Amino acid sequence: MAVSLRTLYRDIASLKAQGAEIDGEPGLGYVLKPGFVLPPLMFSSAEIEALMLGMRWVADRGDPVLAAGARDAAARIAAVLPRALRRELETSALLVGTGLRSTADATTLALMREAIRDGLKLKLAYRDKQGVTSHRVVWPFALVYFEEARVLAAWCEWRGDFRNFRADRIVRLEPLAERPPRSPTVLLDEWRLSLQASGRTILPESGSRPF
């Protein structure tokens, strides 16, 4: 393709700097792992402000893994922006104020996110607002972030219906090596339709059904 080795090695280095996972070395060859997409190079001022505000919120209110991801994403986006837009990103005056914080365990949140991403069931011990503990096997499909709470939306095998679980009331959590018969995407769509049909909404205290 009339591309010199010098140019090829330089382009590989540029891709790695932008976050591409590339295995290999000069003289042997390279393999680009799946999941990498070149980032957009241009944003409007409103898009820059929206991105920075969202990443600042996650960096401030997310668990350690998500907070680190938000900071890394901000640095990666800044690295590929033109100088003027990079300055707008770094000097954005939209800040995140203080407020109520969730007391959910960071490990619990990470396990729930992984189960949703991998499409696996969860076994949990859950203490309701009356202090009664029950044991459930659930099919997780969404994690909802409120200022003061993180709420897991899932299909509960025990109840045979959708249920919402506050992460700070989960006593024990165990991922199972078993997939639900319906994917998280299908469950999310069904859940939204059920909320629309009943006129209900998900709330951190009451949820679509009592905790």
Q: What SS3 string covers the chain?
A: CCCCHHHHHHHHHHHHHCCCCEEEECCCEEEECCCCCCCCCCCCHHHHHHHHHHHHHHHHHCCHHHHHHHHHHHHHHHHHCCHHHHHHHHCCCCCCCCCCCCCCCHHHHHHHHHHHHHCCCEEEEEECCCCCEEEEEEEEEEEEECCCCEEEEEEECCCCEEEEEEHHHEEEEEECCCCCCCCHHHHHHHHHHHHHHHCCCCCCCCCCCCC
Residue 104 pLDDT more than 50? yes
**Confidence tier at 206 by pLDDT (50, 70, 90):** very low
**Do the beta carbons of residue 190 and residue 142 sit within 8 Å?**
no
CA 196 to mean position of chain CA atoms: 24
Average the pLDDT over 40-44 and give the result. Answer: 69
The pLDDT value given to residue 209: 37
What CATH number was assigned to the domain covering residues 106-198?
2.30.30
The pLDDT value given to residue 152: 96
Q: Return the half-sphere exposure (C-beta side, CA atoms, 13 A cut-off) of residue 16.
A: 12
More confident of the two residues 22 and 205: 22
- The residue ranges of every structural domain in the chain are 1-38, 45-90, 106-198
* Interatomic CA distance for residues 35 and 146, integer angstroms: 29
Place of tokens 């680009």: 32
**Confidence tier at 203 by pLDDT (50, 70, 90):** low
